Amino acid sequence: MESSPATSSKRLKIAVQKSGRLADASFHLLERCGLTFARSKDKLFCYGRNVPVDVLLVRDDDIPQLLVDGVCDLGVVGQNVAEEQRLMRTQRGEVADYGTLKQLDFGACRLSLAVPEMESFDGPQDLEGKRIATSYPGLTGHYLKQHGVNARIVRLSGSVEIAPSMGTADVITDLVSTGTTLRANHLREAEIIMKSTAVLLRSGQPLDASLEPVLNRLLARIDGVLEAQESKYVMLHAPKSRLDQIREILPGAESPTVLSLEGQDDRVAIHAVCRETVFWEHLEELKAAGASAVLVLPVEKMLA
């Protein structure tokens, strides 16, 4: 990703959340791609030391606009924010000029309808004539429309969960990850409206040609990081006769390396890269198949 002298003035700009559920994981992903940064005094601008890539730390809700305006080339946000703002822009007759490049493996949450603990909910028709507090009027309106329900949306920018107890709304739709916020406010998750994870978005504005290779290399490294995260290097000893059975158990292993063991004719060492999550259940199955000395190691980097 090194910049050549002719292109050194152009730099790829990535917007990530400054604080909140995606902030640490977004920045960590870029660091795992080998990017190192010098932070500005206010810590809102990170200058890539080793690559022509800069990071802007902003409110997640501002990221789509930065992409639409071409201020940033890439952004990491939740699908909830990307889709909400796409719907709202479309409603206003504006273009939502950004697209998804990659789904990432963090920031899982859901936009859910929540009702007071003690109240029943038998389906969307129960919302007819109700007041729904939300920071997601686009997605909530879309959900109501899909179910042919007329309800009033009370738009709030925060503390949505207290609206029912304050009497300003009957129910809410809000983001849920652990469910703690709902429980603390005596609300119950009644229906999931949308599931979300973090995504990497790309601005629809044209990218300077000199930055295309920078982007492509970054994307390949992100793939490598995502793949390495799931992958494990597994080493074990096993009876030679059980080789096929062991290979079947190892999740996502292609062709394991089989090595002979000094002084043991009937047992071999097997080394394999497992590209799928290795669960305890897999280890127990391996043991039952005669494996011993099973080691599971993390994979730091991977280049296919």
Residues in contact with ligand PRP by CB under 6 A are 20-21, 60, 158, 174-181
Site string for Zn ion, 110-149 (x = CB under 5 A): ----------------------------------------
Q: CB of 16: closest distance to Zn ion in angstroms?
A: 13
The answer to whether 12 and 53 have CB atoms below 8 angstroms apart is yes
d(CA 189, CA 251): 35
Q: CB of 59: closest distance to ligand PRP in angstroms?
A: 8
The answer to whether 136 and 113 have CB atoms below 8 angstroms apart is no
Nearer to ligand PRP, 3 or 196 (CB): 196
Contacts of residue 27, Cβ cutoff 8 Å, sequence gap at least 6: 16, 55
**Locus of tokens 């028709």:** 125
Query: Which does residue 84 touch among Zn ion, ligand PRP, none (CB within 5 to 8 A, set by kind)?
Result: none
Nearer to ligand PRP, 5 or 158 (CB): 158
Q: Which stretch binds Zn ion (CB under 5 A): 45-53, 60-68, 130-138, 283-291?
A: 60-68
CA dihedral sign, ordered 197, 87, 63, 216 = positive
Contacts of residue 41, Cβ cutoff 8 Å, sequence gap at least 6: none
Query: How is residue 241 written in tokens?
Result: 């006769």
d(CA 301, CA 151): 50
- 60 near Zn ion, judged by CB under 5 A: yes
**Locus of tokens 């990491």:** 76
Pairing of strands 74-78, 12-17: parallel
Q: CB of 66: closest distance to Zn ion in angstroms?
A: 14
Q: CB of 131: closest distance to ligand PRP in angstroms?
A: 18
The 8 Å CB, 24+ separation contacts for 262-268 are 265/240, 266/239, 266/240, 266/241, 267/237, 267/238, 267/239, 267/240, 268/237, 268/238, 268/240, 268/243
Q: CB of 202: closest distance to Zn ion in angstroms?
A: 20
Nearer to ligand PRP, 175 or 226 (CB): 175
Nearer to ligand PRP, 84 or 126 (CB): 84
Binding footprint of Zn ion, residue count (CB under 5 A): 2
Q: CB of 203: closest distance to ligand PRP in angstroms?
A: 21
Q: CB of 155: closest distance to ligand PRP in angstroms?
A: 14
Helix ranges (H only) for the chain are: 23-32, 63-68, 79-91, 137-146, 163-166, 180-184, 212-230, 243-249, 280-288
Query: Which does residue 178 touch among Zn ion, ligand PRP, none (CB within 5 to 8 A, set by kind)?
Result: ligand PRP
By beta carbon distance, the residue nearest Zn ion is 60
- Residue closest to 250 by CA, chosen among 223, 224, 282, 209: 282
Nearer to ligand PRP, 58 or 272 (CB): 58
Nearer to Zn ion, 61 or 227 (CB): 61
Collapsing DSSP states into helix, strand and coil, what is residue 190?
strand
Nearer to ligand PRP, 182 or 273 (CB): 182
Site string for Zn ion, 10-49 (x = CB under 5 A): ----------------------------------------
Please report, as ranges, the residues that interact with Zn ion according to CB under 5 A. Answer: 60-61
